[in-house]
Amino acid sequence: AQSVTQLGSHVSVSEGALVLLRCNYSSSVPPYLFWYVQYPNQGLQLLLKYTSAATLVKGINGFEAEFKKSETSFHLTKPSAHMSDAAEYFCAVSRNFGNEKLTFGTGTRLTIIP
C-alpha cells in the first residue's frame, strides 16, 4: 500500500520568499508522485508529476519538486512566492504509471504575507 504525509497543514511565507512544502511517501514499489493545487471553490489542477524520467521535476507557475529516494521525499519548492500562489496544495502517490488510483495527502494551505 502507498501513502503520503504532508508535514504542516498551514504554511505562511512572505511575498518574494522561498516556498517549501513537504511531502514524504511510503510505497512498496517505485512510486509515481504528483503535486496538485486547489484554488478556493475550484477543483484540483496538476502542478507537476514524477514518473521516474528525471528526479528534478519542473511544473507550472515556477514550481518544482525533487524526488529523493534516500529520504522518501518529494518536496515542492518555488524560489519566490507570489500572492497568486495562495492556495491549498496536495501531494499524491500512485503505484503505477497510469495513476489508476491516487492516494492523496491531507493538504497544506499556503498563505502569502504581503
Partner 1 sequence: NAGVTQTPKFRILKIGQSMTLQCTQDMNHNYMYWYRQDPGMGLKLIYYSVGAGITDKGEVPNGYNVSRSTTEDFPLRLELAAPSQTSVYFCASRPRAFEDQPQHFGDGTRLSIL
What is the contact surface with partner 1 in residues (CB under 8 A)? 9, 34, 41-46, 49, 51, 90, 96-102, 104-107
Residue 104 CB, shortest distance to partner 1, in Å, is 4
Let me know the angle formed at the C-alpha of 48 by 81 and 79, rounded to the nearest 5 degrees: 25
Q: Which is nearer to partner 1, 53 or 56 (CB)?
A: 53
Sign of the torsion angle spanned by Cα atoms 61, 43, 89, 12? positive
Residue 48 CB, shortest distance to partner 1, in Å, is 10
Q: What is the DSSP string of 97-109?
A: TT--S-EE---EE
Residue 32's nearest CA partner among 78, 100, 106 is 100
Residue 59 CB, shortest distance to partner 1, in Å, is 11
Q: Give the other-Cβ count within 10 Å of 96's Cβ.
A: 11
Residue 105 CB, shortest distance to partner 1, in Å, is 6
Q: Which is nearer to partner 1, 51 or 77 (CB)?
A: 51
Q: Which is nearer to partner 1, 100 or 114 (CB)?
A: 100
